[in-house]
Structures are given as structure tokens and as C-alpha cells.
Amino acid sequence: MRRLPVGCTTDAHAVYATFMSRLSQCIYVWDPEDVEALVAAKKSEMEAMHVENQTDDDVFRNIKTSELAMHCTLANATLFQA
């Protein structure tokens, strides 16, 4: 993936980081089973801190990117298409 933008831009370009981020989102996705397990674990952690009545969306908003990277795997987006 890192070789793709070499022909069209450099990392000094103003929108290089945005381009690479969006490109990565199109190619890779978090494994849904891993994310589901992480949300369940985070929900239990929040309940232990007496934060009640959280929806899965509320819990997901409290998950840091570093936690996703540590506990979930990235997969090619084409693996999850129907």
C-alpha cells in the first residue's frame, strides 16, 4: 500500500496523510469478531467502573485506536464482502 502514492505525491504534500488514511480505510477493515469481543470487554470494564446503561455505540466511542490496534486484527476488506 505504501508504494501506491509514490507515483502521485510525496509525504510532504499537504493532504498526503489524509489520502493515506482514507486509502487504508478502503483496503483494510477491523475483524468484526475481534471488534465484537473488544466491545464486550470494554462494556464489562465500564460497568465495573459503575457506568451503566451504555449502548454498543457508546462503548465503541470510548475505545481508543491503540486498543483496537492491540486487540484486533486488520483484514483485507474484500474478505468481508458478500
The pLDDT tens digits along the chain (82 residues) read 566 666 665 666 777 778 877 877 777 788 889 999 999 999 999 899 988 888 888 898 889 988 988 988 887 766 555 5
How far is C-alpha 77 from the geometric centre of its chain's CA atoms? 12
pLDDT at 72: 87
- What are the E-state strand segments in 1-82? 28-30, 74-76
pTM for the model stands at 0.63
Distance CA(31)–CA(81), nearest Å, equals 12
Residue 13 has what DSSP assignment? S
